[in-house]
A and B are shown apart, each in its own frame.
Chain A
Amino acid sequence: MSRPENPTLSDYRRREQSVTLSQLDEPLAAGEDGSETSEELLTLNFGPHHPATHGVLRLLVTLQGEVVRDIKPIIGYVHTGIEKTAEDKAYWKVIPVVERMDYLAYYFNAMAYCSAVEKLVEVEVPPRAQYLRVIHLELNRIASHLIWLGTSALDLGAVSIFLYCLRERELILDLFEMSSGQRMHTRYFQVGGVMEDIPRGFERKVREFLKLMPERADEYGAILNSNEIVLQRLRGTCPLDAETLLGLGVTGPLLRAAGNPWDLRKADPYCSYEHFDFKIPVGTVGDNYDRFAVRLAEIYESVKIVEQALDGLPEGPHITEDRKVALPPRHELATSMEALIHHFKLVTEGFRVPPGEVYAPIESPRGELACYVRSDGSSKPARVHMRDPSFVNLQAVSHMVKGSYIADMIATVAMLDPILGGIDR
């Protein structure tokens, strides 16, 4: 079936039209040993819509039989222009926009951006706010790992783990709803601290959850670690050594699974992480099983961090006292004229930031998430760039799957934990 040539089509569109069947009329090339048939490389398109639910990732896979010879990821199918939109809004209003980038680790996006702006404005975050931030960040890390575990197990065929993980995640989202009113994308982190102090009963509910979570994580470990199919699919498949990973810029659980214990929470502590005692799970071989085990172990460590943060939660303000940056509390608006003026200025125009450029990295569940903010002295940022870990980690997938089977490729993409919202921004 041939289409009429449309002269206005660009080269790319013309290449995209369907292949005609005339290519099959040519005889197959003879094999090297004189045999009739030879092996041809088949290019398969794992289109942007496929049931391995990792978002709209398109993979062009070149196969020889069932062995993957090359893989090319094509992205951009959920590109939202977040960085461009952020240039249009006041600094305060960028927080909800930027939160929707890596949509499983929303507190981390907000944290990176708020760190960058706080560095620029030179405002100090009070200790209570830092501890509250740590609590929410680590709870979000657990939630992100739960979805990763659920969807990866779904890819490998274990459907019930998906439902179990969603059950736990519902509890975490209930906690977020308790502290900020929203389940996802909560706008809880503000420049200078957090939006509101935690309500009464929050601590009790978090402790109940923390008592429950390690048992549940034990259950998941027990189910998956003794399952022959999961072990065979994950053990020994698609390993990659730490050298290549460092060259590719990969950080996070992938690097830790390969043996390099690089974690920004320990190496370059930010936001009071140095007050907590926790371990960094590190793998040995760097295959899919290590990536899985490292993330599962991180859930236990996050539980420990939240417990320590709750135990040591200091008293104090939940946001900076600098009224030029943070909104004054509502009761002050009735009595103080300056508070009213500050409130008005902040809500209509926003605070002005001195000109400069800052790069603020943090450790998200997928690796090094950093925010680069350039300000030109006005109340809107001149450039906001999020260095997303999944965007950089995706480059490693072609090195990992060369020479393995398709099924291993699916398992590897699952263990890579790509979040297309972060990749495409």
Chain B
Amino acid sequence: MEVKRERLPRAVDPSGLRVREENAHQLLRGNELEGPNRPAHLEGEDLERYVHERVMTTTLDSAVAWARSNSFFPLAFGLACCAMEQFHTAGPRMDIARFGFEAFRASPRQADLIILAGRVSIKMAPIIRRLYDQMLEPKWAISMGACCSSMGVFNNYALVPADKFMPIDVHVPGCPPRPEALMHGILKLRALVQDKAEPGWRGRYGAVGTEERP
């Protein structure tokens, strides 16, 4: 069987995406080393446009943040009722896997996101702190539900708000928060990690400087 390679006819719009894509393919195949468009012959503006079409620059931080934020490994950690809603977030309807976060790890050494789902009692607090310490950097924490963010429904001797013993990045209110609410919190964390955090209500009410963490 004979394989015949042919140049595709040039499209009408030379700067369209499809054309650029096709040019990139041809570049990779090395077909452009001959012919009128070979890079050694380009000068000035043409050369700049050539490079602009093929190369993307970014900072290392942004690239790493993009990779990290799109592949959180949550720790399989459910305490109380919010854990049921956490199951539903991982369930078929509100699928956490479409964002890439379905790999719930059992061991804290392999996880980078701890979702505190449920009420934290005083007996459990040192254990959670130990789990958090065992996680490797970079690590984030989401406090899901009213009981661990503030004291929630039960303002009494037995509970500890999570802020008292570990740093929390995102608090998700609700009792229990709907799976959509937890997803919103996780996506907010994703935006935070990518440094694209929106000001949210603070922007609307002129309160941008009042965050607790910079």
Contact = CB atoms under 8 A, between A and B. Distances in A.
Complex: A in contact with B (CB within 8 Å) = yes
Interface of A: 47-51, 53, 55-56, 76-82, 84-85, 96-97, 100, 103-104, 147, 150, 162-163, 166-167, 169-170, 173, 183-185, 420-421, 424
17 contacts: A51-B106, A55-B80, A77-B121, A77-B124, A80-B147, A80-B158, A81-B157, A81-B159, A84-B158, A85-B154, A97-B153, A147-B84, A167-B92, A167-B93, A170-B88, A170-B92, A185-B176
Contacts, number: 101
Contact of B119 (A48, A78, A173): A78
B76 A78 contact: no
B131 interface: yes
Please provide the 4 A-B residue pairs with the shortest distance between their CB atoms, ordered closest to farther. Answer: A166-B91, A103-B81, A81-B158, A51-B106
Interface string B114-148: 00001101011001000100000000000000010
Interface string B58-95: 00000000000000000011111101110110111100
Contact of A421 (B81, B85, B92, B153): B81
B76 A104 contact: no
Given A51-B76, A56-B79, A80-B158, A424 B88 contact: no
B87 A170 contact: no
B121 A163 contact: no
A185 B88 CA distance: 15
Interface of B: 76-81, 83-85, 87-88, 90-93, 106, 108, 118-119, 121, 123-124, 127, 131, 147, 153-159, 175-176, 178
A264 to B, nearest CB: 25
A296 B147 CA distance: 33
Contacts of B153: 85, 96-97, 100
A167 B118 CA distance: 22
A162 B90 CA distance: 10
B78 A55 contact: yes
A162 B87 CA distance: 9
Given A170-B92, A183-B178, A104 B84 contact: yes
Contacts of B176: 184-185
Counting chain B CB atoms within 10 Å of each CB, the highest count among A76, A96, A103, A183 belongs to: A103
B190 to A, nearest CB: 23
Given A85-B156, A420-B80, 7 more contacts: A48-B124, A49-B127, A53-B78, A76-B121, A80-B156, A100-B154, A167-B92
B157 A84 contact: yes
